[in-house]
Structure 1
Amino acid sequence: MAKLTVYGTPISTYVRTTRLLLEGIGADYDLKSVDIFNGESQSAEYLAKNPFGKVPTLEVDGTLLYETNAIVEYLDATLADRKFSPSEPLAQARMRQIISIIDSYLYANAISTIVIQRLIVPNQGGKPDEALIANAVAPAKTALEAIESLTVGSPYLLGSDVGIADFYLIPIFIYLSKTPEFEAVTAQTPKLRTWWDGVSQRPDVKKVCG
């Protein structure tokens, strides 16, 4: 098997997405911490790997890949025979819809705003910006309700098998579920609530996100 190295901050949701897929494959890989909080991701050494200073970056036998979507689709195709992607075209489109909703509409509101303000700012001795949080609740709710409308939820987002869409959403829920806003943003998403009750108990989720 190829030599795999994941560079990134272990608590990053996107690093966790990549690792959940690797754990699902049963792949042997190294995780090399690149701390986005202390400036390591902006170092010349790391920027030579990823010019945008984002995480994760994957190294495969000396070849570098960045952008989570590119990484997970490559790993799924080369190491898992596309086990984690639906084979049916509409289901494939639904998977990409869910990923796009997370990237474009959910992440900034759920993680960059609600989670950062509720969990990170107080941990650093600051006071949450309640106005920022309040303004993020409605768009986060809209994004989750959109995902709910695309979800099969039996028991995974797109059917009976865990897949890339699940690996994207699980790390978001890990953090969001620890905030008071979780109840409000998931109030109209019963399938996602049931999905979360199940996937949160998976051994790979506990290993990567515990």
Structure 2
Amino acid sequence: MAKLTVCGTPLSTYVRTVLLLLEEAGVDYTVQDIDIFKGENQSPEYLAKNPFGKVPTLEVDGEVIYETPAITDYLNTVFANNQFSPSEPMLQARMRQIITIIDNYFYPAAISKIVIQRLIVPIRGGKPDKEQIQNAIAPAQKAIQAIESITVGSLYLLGSQLTIADFYLIPVFIYLSQTPEYETITAQTPKLQVWWDAVKQLPNVEKVCA
């Protein structure tokens, strides 16, 4: 059996995406905590694995994979028999759409702006930038409403089976739901509200994202 090590901050949404997939697949792994808040991701040792200093990075029997889409594709193919990717081509495309929307539009507004200002800045002794938060609400709404229009609305995002798209969105919702902006941003997304009520109770979501 391959030896898997996930390198990254366990609080990172992208690290949690990988951990959710591993847990749902029942795969053994270890976590090497790389604290991005202490700059450990910029150390020479870590940059030798991932030149961009991002998390996560996956080590597989001495091989290194970075970038979350590459990691999740590899793990899904090798360890999960592709169970987290729909077999139907259109649903595969929808999964990629959702992931790309999260990466390019939802994460930058919801996490990089709102969550950082609401949850991280105060912990580090600062005051939230209310203008930055306010300016991020509309882009976050636009992104999540786009995902709402794509999702099937039948238990999980694309049907009765969890997919990689769910693993991407769950960690973002974990944090966003702790902010005052959450209700405003999700007000016009009834399917995603039902989805969130279901997935946040999954045992592995509680295990990884507690």
TM-score (norm 2): 0.99
Cα drift, residue 202 of structure 1: 0.3
In structure 2, what is the equivalent of residue 91 of structure 1?
A: 91
Instruction: Provide runs of 4+ in structure 1 moved above 3 Å.
Output: none
Structure 1 residue runs of 5 or longer lacking an equivalent are none
In structure 1, what is the equivalent of residue 14 of structure 2?
A: 14
Matched residues, percent identical? 69
| 2:153 counterpart of 1:153 | yes
In structure 2, what is the equivalent of residue 187 of structure 1?
A: 187
Distance 1:35 1:125 in 2: 18
- 2:181 corresponds to which letter in structure 1? E
Q: Which SS does the other structure have where 2:101 is aligned?
A: helix
Match runs of 1:98-117 below 5 Å: 98-117=98-117
In structure 1, what is the equivalent of residue 65 of structure 2?
A: 65
In structure 2, what is the equivalent of residue 173 of structure 1?
A: 173
Cα drift, residue 153 of structure 1: 1.9
Q: Which SS does the other structure have where 1:37 is aligned?
A: helix
Distance 1:127 1:99 in 2: 31
Distance 2:8 2:180 in 1: 28
Cα drift, residue 124 of structure 1: 1.4
Q: 1:43-91 deviations in whole A, cap 9, x for unaligned?
A: 0000000000000000011100000000000000011110000000000
Structure 2 residue runs of 5 or longer lacking an equivalent are none
Distance 1:50 1:143 in 2: 29
Match runs of 1:132-151 below 5 Å: 132-151=132-151
- 2:37 corresponds to which letter in structure 1? F
- 1:57 corresponds to which letter in structure 2? T
Distance 2:121 2:63 in 1: 37
In structure 2, what is the equivalent of residue 121 of structure 1?
A: 121
Q: 1:7-58 deviations in whole A, cap 9, x for unaligned?
A: 0000000000000000011000010000111010000000000000000000
| 2:184 counterpart of 1:197 | no
How many residues in Structure 1 have an aligned counterpart in Structure 2? Answer: 210
Distance 2:47 2:124 in 1: 27
In structure 2, what is the equivalent of residue 54 of structure 1?
A: 54
Q: 1:93-121 deviations in whole A, cap 9, x for unaligned?
A: 00000000000001110001000000111
Q: Aligned Cα RMSD in Å? A: 0.4
Distance 1:133 1:86 in 2: 35
- 2:101 corresponds to which letter in structure 1? I
Q: Which SS does the other structure have where 1:125 is aligned?
A: coil
Q: 1:154-206 deviations in whole A, cap 9, x for unaligned?
A: 10000001110000000000000000000010010000000000000000000
Cα drift, residue 123 of structure 1: 1.3
